[in-house]
Structure 1
């Protein structure tokens, strides 16, 4: 289609327009996704006069098609109707979409209206957007009134003073609507609207709206006001917050609905930061203790997730006297999810307490949680070992005492019946190795890491090979050569093909972390022997492994020799394999190996040619005595010479 001259070929446009009228939903959906192409072909005038009215009349369709239309109209579609000057014409179809029954369509329509409003001038907003907002706010069906709540904040700062006053009154009406869904929408968007208001209007308008919604008889409305409370508090001074909102804060913390208390718990740190340190000390410490002792496990779990963040806002003595007792109770909570949430956060207290207090109060809880019967609790504790070590646990208590609780927990997790739990503990092994040291690892965890190579689940075997690579990075190549490589290679002669496959996989994964001495001596022998393995899967994985070795080390002279003398002959023999997959991977390996060797040879030739040229210049200069750059004066050392080539 020639988009520069749309009238030259109108047939494709007509086809797309017919697709919009098709009974096939997929055809209509495809047409909607190409609506920008239609608009580009029609040009701005015909788009405004024909396409946009057609789209506005076509909203009686499947929700999937309407959702796509609402999304397309928000993707800078004003460019196709003539730019910002005519962007308001898009409000027509979007207004209709904002009133449909399906929530997803309405949300996407309001999102697109908000994007369009960014392109509108004040005159366009007051002439087109505000009337749209009024119609939606006063619509007969709750769907339109629900959508309108999201449309106040984007344009509030762009309109005149009188219109601002009308908008505040209209939003107040939404908060008093008879339909709970409309009040929920008002509660959801009150915070965003409040950010646009001047301080005096927050006190005169936003606060009464918030108080009304916060005392609504529907808990689905009240729970949304928690974020409004935070947004309004950020706009006010701490003294004003204390005077105007303290009662609502207490009311929300003690709400009869656990869902409201859960929202408070889940946003507790944000709330504390918004209201100021004075209210935190006087009110929120007690409120937080109340949350940690809540009857509902979900509330306690959410409260535990806020532990380090809230503890940063209070002093050490308050943590020790008020918070730690609750933490002890949570460590023995009946709900495993509460204990898991605590285990994930408790180590965050360690940097806030001095070393003595950490050892005295947190260590017993840490060791207790390491023995928890729920795997996720133990995993969460182990995952935070680095933070625990930085707080001084390991150096002070000694590795022997810690190992009494840590090792049994690791072993139990390593043998857990859920492979996902086993995989999770494998991922933490390099961190444990870093913190616990090489000697402890060799004695206690080395055999465990190798045992994962024989796991029944492939994902565990794969994770185990990645683990060995990371351990090599931690402890060094020499350690890996003595402790890991021999045991991995020994599996290459195992009668079970899965063990031999794991050997090849481990070599492929570990190769970048090893060096040529280890590769050339024991590893290549094993790979070459597996070239003739009876299992095709092993043979083509050998080809992939040889490719990795060649591409990793082929750029150095020793690696080139290895590639030419051992890798290329082995791969060439696999090219004659009866299995098609083996031949494919062998061909790819040979191609990439030859490419690496050829590039290395090319640079070597260039280097030799350059050196020969330099020596010829030196000999010529020395012979004629004409170039001071090659002046080797007798009796002057090389460092004093003026040879600078």
Structure 2
């Protein structure tokens, strides 16, 4: 490559005369015309080095015009260029010359690829802060106006992201023009432009005078929230959070809440989803009084929405909603206006998964009584994945509710899962027992769990007999040597004579699993003879697993 020595070592870096002084630009032109995209990309990424070699004046007069006039068709190259230019102010001579960076970025803000436009807007926003107020009105604001009135929707969408950064430092007359341009974009014929305007509505509202927020932003919010495109309406909901923070309670009630109530019942589930997703932010923005009178009824409807995605989004906000309620009257609101609406599985599961947090708010006794019917219903749900989810939360419930409540209300559920017709449920139920023993202790296991598990060894269904072995595998370590040796081992040894080969080879696997827990006498006197017998079994799998156990336990 002609410039392999680097721009800092060429004649141009030393300020040579004649054609040599154009060396870095010539190198850049060659590299950017190369067919290798990676080479072009690397060249763009070292622009700052080239600019340093050129000096500020030549960067302004040669490099930037070249970059502005040169068109590339690789989005990756354009993206890198847009990013580089955002940090170029010092390389063109400082804030007094920041406007020199606007032409190439203006071009990049109009390209078709969204990520390139977004990066160009990001760099323009960054550079806007480096303009003096005078330079802002002379150079930056005209750029925003050109983009806002451009023929292509791409330029108009980019303009939406620039109003808020130039408005605060503009003069009174220019501010009026900026607001007018923004209003025009909010009613643009192209949905993509209205979407862009709606996405920046809240941000723009924050820098406006309060009178302008009331007279201009609120009507725009109302219009966008009623747009024919649901993708525009849902973005208006997001803007509502910022707008609500700026208004008094009376203005909120009269200007914003009718539109927000309408959004919570929108025909599009995507809009209702956005209301649910932003609920905690909306709650904080409107304050406690409007929350109680307006948001709680809307939240009740979201919890029982016909779309699962909406219900799930609302479910994730239950914890924050409860925490953000005023302490006075909080418990009453939760018990009477929130918990009765916890009907759908995903909502109730979310409550249960956050039980420790909800417990802090309203107290475990009342909560347990309210949730118990829901827990039982979920435990027997027709969808096995719902049953699986509630099993996974059972140790959490056990820790919160305590051993007495658990034994009285939930123990039978845990045992019933062991004989579920779905293997994944039986497996999860087995792991659940191990976690419960770790939580409640070996004495509880010995008195409450182990006897019920061992009874299943005589079940007519061989799958249930195998579950007994799986439980013993899981419980043995948690229960310790004494319980394993005295209560579990005899059952495993007895099952070695089972008629079903699958049970017999699982006996061999269980003996291998619990062997390290047993003492030497039990291993040599009881386990070894049984494994030797199974090692001569007529079934190949039984023989294999028995011989493997003998080898692992060193009983040969």
TM-score w.r.t. the length of structure 1 is 0.62
Determine which of 207, 210, 222 is the counterpart of 2:221. 210
The correspondence for 1:146, drawn from 153, 157, 173, is: 157
| Greater RCO (Cα-Cα under 8 Å, separation 6 or more) | 2
CA distance in 2, matches of 1:166, 1:289: 43
Please, which of 321, 325, 348 is the counterpart of residue 340 of structure 2? 325
Q: Out of 65, 75, 80, which is 1:68 matched to?
A: 80
Once the two structures are superposed, residues 377-419 of structure 1 have per-residue CA deviations (whole angstroms, 9 ceiling, x without a partner) of 45654665676456x412450447434334665998996399x
Q: Partner of 1:272 in structure 2?
A: 283
- For the pair 1:57 / 2:69, whether they are aligned, the reply is yes
Corresponding residue number in structure 1 for 2:55: 43
Aligned to 2:462: none
Write out aligned runs for 1:128-143 (5 A).
Answer: 128-143=139-154
In 1: Cα distance, 2:430 partner to 2:151 partner: 58
CA deviations 1:447-501 (Å, max 9, x no partner) are x9xxxxxxxxxxxxxxxxxxx9xxx9xx9xx989x99xxxxxxxxxxxxxxx9xx
Q: Extract unaligned runs of 5+ from structure 2.
A: 1-5, 454-473, 485-508, 514-556
CA change 1:296–1:14 in 2 (3 A) is same
Aligned ranges 1:487-526 → 2 under 5 Å: none
Distance 1:386 1:48, change over 3 A: farther
Counterpart selection for 1:226 from 228, 233, 237: 237
Report if aligned partners of 2:300, 2:338 keep a CA contact under 8 Å in 1. yes
Within 2, Cα distance between the matches of 1:438 and 1:116? Answer: 67
- Shift of residue 25 of structure 1? 2.0
**Aligned counterparts of 1:283 and 1:384: Cα–Cα separation in 2:** 33
* Matched residue, 2:13: 7
Pick closer, same or farther for the CA change 1:345–1:49 going to 2, 3 Å. Answer: same
Counting only pairs closer than 5 Å after superposition, residues 219-618 of structure 1 correspond to structure 2 as: 219-314=230-325, 315-327=330-342, 329-331=343-345, 341=350, 344-345=353-354, 348-372=357-381, 374=383, 377=386, 380-381=389-390, 388=397, 392-399=400-407, 401-406=409-414, 416=424, 435-437=439-441, 439=443
Partner of 2:46: 34
CA contact 1:399–1:436 (8 Å) conserved in 2: no
TM-score by length of 2: 0.71
CA contact (8 A) 2:201 2:217 kept: yes
* Structure 2: distance between partners of 1:316 and 1:247: 28
Do the aligned partners of residues 278 and 4 (structure 1) sit closer, same or farther apart at CA in structure 2, a change above 3 Å counting? farther
Partner residue in 1 for 2:29: 17
| 8 Å CA contact 1:29, 1:68 repeated in 2 | yes
Contact 2:264–2:272 under 8 Å retained in 1: yes
Q: 2:332 and 2:169 mapped to 1: Cα distance?
A: 50
Q: Aligned in 2, Cα 1:158/1:389: closer, same or farther, shift over 3 Å?
A: farther
Sort the Cα spacing of 1:293 and 1:26 in 2 relative to 1 into closer, same or farther, 3 A.
same
Q: Displacement, 1:317?
A: 2.1
Q: In 2, are the aligned partners of 1:187 and 1:224 still within 8 Å (CA)?
A: yes
Q: Give, in whole Å, the separation in 2 of the partners of 1:407 and 1:71.
A: 60
* Aligned-CA RMSD value: 3.9
Give the Cα separation in 2 of the matches to 1:115 and 1:262: 33
**C-alpha separation in 2, matches of 1:375 and 1:70:** 51
Q: 1:194–1:206: 8 Å Cα contact kept in structure 2?
A: yes
Q: 1:213 to 1:397 in 2, by over 3 A?
A: same
Task: Give, in angstroms, the shift of residue 60 of structure 1.
Answer: 3.5
Measure the CA separation in 1 of the matches of 2:8 and 2:123. 26
Secondary structure at the aligned position of 1:216 is classed as coil
Question: 1 CA distance for matches of 2:146 and 2:99?
Answer: 16
CA change 1:430–1:279 in 2 (3 A) is: farther
**Is 1:102 aligned to 2:117, yes or no?**
no
Cα 1:12–1:277 change in 2 (3 A) is same
Deviations 1:228-281 (A, max 9, x none): 111100111222211211211211111121211111111112112211111111
Tell me the matched-pair count.
Answer: 451
Question: How much does 1:320 deviate?
Answer: 2.2
Aligned equivalent of 1:80, options 74, 86, 91: 91
Distance of 2:39 and 2:209 partners within structure 1 = 49
Unaligned runs of 5+ in 1: 332-336, 449-467, 484-498, 504-645
The Cα shift of 1:435 comes to 3.9
After superposition, the Cα gap between the structure-2 partners of 1:283 and 1:4, relative to the gap in structure 1 and judged at 3 Å, is: same
